[in-house]
Amino acid sequence: MQNNNTHLVSVIMNCYNGEEYLREAIDSIYAQTYQNWEIIFWDNASTDNSASIAKSYDERVRYHLASETTSLGEARDFALNRVGGEYIAFLDTDDCYLPDKLELQIKQMLSNSDYQMSYTGGFIIDENSKITKQFTPQCYSGDIFSQQLRRYEINMQSVMLRNNQEIVFDRNLEFSPDYHLFMNICSKHKVGVIKQPLVKYRRLKDSLTDEKISRWAIEMKYTLDKIFTENPVLKQKNEKSYKLAYAKVAYYRARYFIQIRKKSSAIKVLSKYKTINVTYFALFLLACLPYFIWKITHKLK
């Protein structure tokens, strides 16, 4: 195997007013056991103290300031165009790496030339950096597209990619350009999976707005439509998983309708999928019940 330290990793950090946890995030990169990296810091026109924090580090933090605030897809793509590494990783400003994250992924990618992408397990943390939950990938390395259609499990902070012309973020997407890119990769390539927790993903309270829930359905369908239109054979090869993926789109649409108190629309959307399995039959029944039951059930979940 080649010497791991000869391979530059570009860690993309997109930032918009992320000062609260920013130093903790950057410090977790400096603490890596693998040290041949650069940070591509894309400041999406922040108005807080993010710029001064980023600039307080050495030359390995390559700071770029956007002329105006753009969509997440645009911001990620702008940052992507500045990378110089053979491999690309991502870290948002309120999340962290565990110390051997980059080292273990570089080792996996070098050992398996077929892998275009690697992702890992991780911990969910709260606003006080306390671990509240562990997430462990259910997939094993290899062809994982069908499983991702059924249950998408790729946390962006855990990903490492080979840098090539396939890596492009769709600038039309506001909330899920990462889902779009990673699902496209899964549809064409084998993927490496490390079940070990190597990242900390911060989940903050009240982060799910009605707008985000609405866009999830729209952008998820946009991604699926593009993948299956460009490669219709995938639909035939993954027929059951295909149906479950679009059922998930329907769930997000119904969830949005219920949030804005359009219960009849939610029932109509879910009725088309109520026979697909027990879960969607239960969701259909929940949509027919009073709003507070739906809300309590989702909190418990």
pLDDT reported for residue 301: 63
pLDDT reported for residue 140: 97
Domains of the chain in start order, with CATH, are: 4-202 (3.90.550.10), 210-300 (no CATH)
Beta strands 131-135 and 115-125, pairing class = antiparallel
**Tokens at 147, concatenated:** 């499983």
pLDDT reported for residue 214: 82
pLDDT reported for residue 246: 98
User: What pTM value is reported for the model?
Assistant: 0.93
Cα–Cα distances (Å) from 178 to 6, 131, 237, in that order, read: 27, 24, 24
pLDDT reported for residue 298: 78
Q: Give CA angle at 113 (107, 115), nearest 5°.
A: 85
Decide if 13 contacts 25 (C-beta within 8 A): yes
> Phi and psi of 131, rounded to 5°?
-70, 125
pLDDT reported for residue 3: 43
Beta strands 115-125 and 160-162, pairing class = antiparallel
Q: At what angle do helices 177-188 and 210-230 cross, to 10 degrees?
A: 30
* Structure-token match 């056991």, residue found: 33
pLDDT in tens, 86-117: 999 999 999 999 999 999 999 999 999 999 99
The helix (H) or strand (E) run that includes residue 9 is strand 9-15
Which 8-state DSSP code applies to residue 142? B
pLDDT reported for residue 42: 97
pLDDT reported for residue 59: 97
Ranges of residues in the chain with a pLDDT under 50 are 1-3
